[in-house]
Structure formats: structure tokens, C-alpha cells
Amino acid sequence: MMRNSGSSRREWQLVRVASRITSSRRLLWSVLAVAVVMSMGVAVAWTTPLFATRDLEIQGNSLVSNEEVHAAVAEQIDVPLPRIDLVGAESAIGAIAAVESVTVSRSWPRGLRIEITERRPYLLVPESDDSFWVIDREGVPYQHLEESDPALLQVQLDDPGPHDRATKSTLEILEDLPRELRDQLERVESPTAAGVVLHLEGGQSIRWGDADQNEKKSQVTLLLLSQDHQHFDVSAPNAPSVS
């Protein structure tokens, strides 16, 4: 009786072990099956025309046309959405002059969401043909106008741009000007980085020079404007002159 009981116990243990092995195998096969299905799904999404990029949802643009955006990302159209180069798309759209920044994201199943921030007008640069360039606070020319915009300050620049020394000098001077002076400005001439001249609405002209010592130049200018003169030179603020 004791032997039969021991034998039965061993047999039962063997059955339990076999059952566990069977369950483990079933679980393994189930996991493998799920992995295969998921891999096939990824492969399909990666290659099938079902997820080909077709739709562009463009937001935030007014100066930049939808056609310009479509042209910038033309190489991405019909590419399966998982394979879209988002950084490349942002770079291509960001190359449009009026675009300050852009974010591109996937919009499943077949679209791209494009959020654009456009540049804001700051200054107006007249051209020799009586047209104008609008530039932003970074000095980037991004919009061409056939007529002047009275809401923008005109600045004479030979080669406006974010890397032009005269442009950078002018932007720095304007940024540092006190409101009392800024409100009187009519136009600015900036033939060189060190040759900036401010023209006021009252007819006075101020030879400012470069962008050094802007605070001191402003203080001296405000003192001199109380005198009955038309031309001021504060390019050397410790030795200003008037005429």
C-alpha cells in the first residue's frame, strides 16, 4: 500500500510537470504568434500605400500659401507615414522666408499636421525701384511690398540681412533706444555699421555712429534736443557736437 501510494504520488507529479511544460509551450507559441502579427503590422504600415501620406493639415499661415508648403514637402507625399522624415520636412518648410518656426507631426492614418509661426514685421527697407522689403526683429527680409507701409519705420540699408553688420548694428541701436526717442523717429539711414543716422519727425538728424554706448548716447541726445539745433553728432558721446 505504501509503495502504491508513493508511485501514485510520483505519477501525479510527473503529470503536473508535463502540464506545466505544455502550458509554457502554449504561452510561448502565443507570444511568438503575437510578435509575428505585430511584425507583419509594422511591415505593412512601413510599406503599404494604405498609409501613404496624402493629407496636409496646415495651421498658422497667412503670408505663406498652402501651395508653398505643399511644394516644400512634395518629396514626402505618397511616402508611408511611418517613414516620413519629420526633421527634413521641418527644414524644408523652415527655408521659406516668411516662416520663423515650424513643427511637423504625423496625423494618422495618412496625414501630416504642420504648425507654422510666421515672422512679424518690424522695419521697412526701401529699394531703388521704389519697392520695399519687410524685415523682422532678427533682420530677415521676408516680404516684398510694392507700396510703403506707414505703420513701419523705414531704414535705409544696402544689404539687409541677419548677418549684415549694418543691419545688426541698427537693430541693436533701435532695441536700446528709450521710448522717448523711439517715438520721435521718422526714418533711419545705415550705410555702414558705424555710420547710423537717426532722423526725427521734427526734422532733426542725429549721427549715432555704431551700437556702442547706446545708453550714454541716448542720455546726451535727450539733453541736446532741448537746444535749438537741427543736427547732432553723438557718435563720441563724451564729445558731442551740434550745428
Q: What domain range is 62 assigned to?
A: 49-118
Q: Is pTM, for the whole model, over 0.85?
A: no
Residues 109 and 182 in one domain: no
> Of 67, 83, 118, which residue constitutes the final position of a domain?
118
Number of structural domains in the chain: 2
Calculate what percentage of the chain has a pLDDT beyond 90.
Answer: 74
Together in a domain, 179 and 231 = yes
Give tens-digit pLDDT for 73-113.
999 999 999 999 999 999 999 999 999 999 999 999 889 99
Nearest to 180 by CA among 196, 197, 195, 200: 200
pLDDT digits (tens, 9 = 90+) for 113-156: 999 999 999 999 999 889 999 999 999 999 999 999 999 999 99
| Residue 15 located in a structural domain | no
CATH code (residue 148) = 3.40.50.11690
Alpha-carbon distances of 89 from 83, 114, 140, 165, 198, rounded to whole Å: 12, 9, 21, 31, 42
189 φ, ψ (degrees, to nearest 5) = -110, 130
The residue from 63, 93, 118 where one domain ends is 118
| pLDDT surpasses 90 at 177 | yes
